[in-house]
Amino acid sequence: MGKSLFQKVWDAHTVGTLADGRTQLFIGTHLIHEVTSPQAFGMLRDLGLKVKFPKRTFATVDHIVPTINQDAPQDPLAAEMMQALRKNADDFEVTYFDLASGKQGIVHVVGPEQGITQPGTTIACGDSHTATHGAFGAIAFGIGTTQVRDVLATQTLALEELKVRRIEVNGDLRPGVYAKDVILHIIRLLGAKGGIGYGYEYAGDVFDRMSMEERMTVCNMSIEGGARCGYVNPDAKTVAYLQGRPYVDMSDFDATAARWLSFASDADAHYDDIVRINAGDIEPTVTWGISPDHGISISETIPDPAKAATAQEKASIVEALEYMKLKPGTPIKGVEIDVAFIGSCTNGRISDFREVAKYIQGHKVAPGVQAIVVPGSQIVAIQCEQEGLPKIFTDAGFEWRGAGCSMCLAMNPDKLVGDQLCASSSNRNFKGRQGSPTGRTVLMSPVMVAAAAINGHISDARELFHIAD
């Protein structure tokens, strides 16, 4: 029996077995940011330890950066965190893509962009969306701050091996259905906790055909499905994307590429579970509630607690509807929005902005709606400018901002106010996620966010933009 990519990478990085039975796993690449690292560096100092492999540690600043006047946070706490990262990067000699570098951005956009994210490697970051890097055939974990300390000090983690679930999506996606819809659909089917104990392998025609950026969108939200990591097997697209990027060693690229590809799952690999999904069943999907598995297709109605199968499901629907102030049994289409947000590590890459720009020319954001567009990195922002995208957005009434996490979790000035409802291309619709304790989030693809912004209410982008089947 062959091995899955997960097993190959796991085996290649196993240092040994710990006394409690866990594996000591070597972490090839450690990404850090300002929110979850200062305490870890503090612990390192308390223990009198150094960073074991400073060259394998890469820092950037993303969560707290303002998207207007990036380098001048008005918030003294934000300024303190930025200073702490600067000092830690200097003291411990870690590469830091700071604001002045022109390479700053959301950590999960920066890694792939720089070619730091590579197939067959292990990656850890104190951020649950680290699974994004799995798009390249890496095993990438989100970790807690004490574990950030462990990686800094030893370049290893104490981990329990995961089971692997292969999720095959075969067939053709219909026009107007995006990678975001695919992952929202998967989470809807398998549940927000369906992936607990698993790593997800995404396979089949749909992922084979996806661009690297689309694969990142899918892997990004593995954690929303409860999986600790998610990946797509590396292929010619993966190699082509990485070729020539700054951190890719080009000295013997053919050998490097061959090694990368050798990590792909064997045809007879063992899986603990296999799920098959028909691509044609996937519709543009939006959330209606407060958990990422509260998803429905754009043409469906908001669930009715009276029709819930179990008491627990009923209670969860009631709680969600109360918070979202939505009526059961009514269409999700037509629900008014206050804010539209395009950005985040899920959908803040060049392809996302290009795709939206294709459709919004000649349209205007509805009166009363604030629509903000936030590139995932400074490099994405520059690319957008070179292609003239900011003007297309601003002409249509969107605000064009600087790179960062922005309104995905609102640790910066971009926040919802009161019970504003936001059509968002980000990844989490938890209560209070976008900065207001009563703010409401409806997750969807960037093109669907644009349609909602223009109509002023949740809409089927295929109708507004004449995306034909």
Partner 1 sequence: MPLEPVTQVTGRAVFIPGADIDTDRIIPARFMKCVTFDGLGEFAFYDVRFNSETSEKTDHPLNDPRFAEASILVAGVNFGCGSSREHAPQSLRKYGFNGVIAESFAEIFFGNSTTLAMPCVIATAADIAKLRDAIDADPTTSVTIDVDKLRVSTSGGLDFPVTMPDSARDALISGRWDPIQELLDNDAAIVAKARELHYV
Residues that bind ligand SF4 (CB under 6 A): 62-63, 106, 108, 127, 129, 344-345, 405, 408-409, 426-427
How far lies 166's CA from each of 223, 230, 232, 236, 291, in Å? 15, 10, 10, 20, 23
- In the chain, the amino acid numbered 96 is Y
Q: Taking CB under 8 A as the rule, does residue 47 contact partner 1?
A: yes
Binding mask 64-93 toward partner 1 (x if CB under 8 A, else -) reads x----------x-xx-xx--x---------
Q: Least distance to partner 1 from the beta carbon of 176, Å?
A: 29
Q: Least distance to ligand SF4 from the beta carbon of 314, Å?
A: 30
- Tell me how far apart the alpha carbons of residues 343 and 352 are, in angstroms, rounded to a whole number: 8
Looking at the Cβ atoms of 310 and 386, the one nearer to partner 1 is 310
Q: Least distance to ligand SF4 from the beta carbon of 379, Å?
A: 16
Retrieve residue 301's tokens: 């109605």
Binding mask 411-450 toward partner 1 (x if CB under 8 A, else -) reads x----------------x-xxxx-xxxx------------
Task: Choose the contact partner of 62 out of partner 1, ligand SF4, none; CB within 5 to 8 A by kind.
Answer: ligand SF4
Task: Choose the contact partner of 250 out of ligand SF4, partner 1, none; CB within 5 to 8 A by kind.
Answer: none
- Tell me how far apart the alpha carbons of residues 224 and 253 are, in angstroms, rounded to a whole number: 35
Which of 3, 50, 71, 145 contacts partner 1 by CB under 8 A? 145
Q: Least distance to partner 1 from the beta carbon of 160, Å?
A: 6
φ/ψ region of 362 (left if φ > 0, alpha if ψ in -120 to 50, else beta) reads left
- Tell me how far apart the alpha carbons of residues 409 and 345 are, in angstroms, rounded to a whole number: 11
Stretch that binds partner 1, among 7-15, 232-240, 261-269, 324-332 (CB under 8 A): 7-15
Query: For partner 1, how many residues bind (rule: CB under 8 A)?
Result: 75
Looking at the Cβ atoms of 58 and 359, the one nearer to partner 1 is 58
Identify residues 373-402 at the interface with partner 1 (CB under 8 A).
Answer: none
- Provide the angle, in degrees to the nearest 10, between the axes of the packed helices 212-220 and 350-360: 100
Phi, psi at residue 83, to the nearest 5°?
-65, -40
Q: Taking CB under 8 A as the rule, does residue 197 contact partner 1?
A: yes
The sign of the CA dihedral 263, 265, 270, 272 is: positive
Q: Taking CB under 8 A as the rule, does residue 409 contact partner 1?
A: yes
Q: Least distance to ligand SF4 from the beta carbon of 238, Å?
A: 21
Query: Tokens 């519709």 — which residue?
Result: 283
For residue 35, give the nearest of 142, 141, 154 by alpha carbon.
Answer: 142
Retrieve residue 411's tokens: 């640790």
Binding mask 102-121 toward partner 1 (x if CB under 8 A, else -) reads ----------------x--x
Retrieve residue 101's tokens: 């570098």
Task: Choose the contact partner of 7 out of ligand SF4, partner 1, none; CB within 5 to 8 A by kind.
Answer: none
Task: Choose the contact partner of 21 out of ligand SF4, partner 1, none; CB within 5 to 8 A by kind.
Answer: partner 1
Q: Is 271 buried (19+), middle (13-18) or exposed (0-12) by CB count in 10 A?
A: middle
- Tell me how far apart the alpha carbons of residues 345 and 22 are, in angstroms, rounded to a whole number: 31
The two most distant CA atoms of the chain are separated, in Å, by 64
Q: Taking CB under 8 A as the rule, does residue 196 contact partner 1?
A: yes
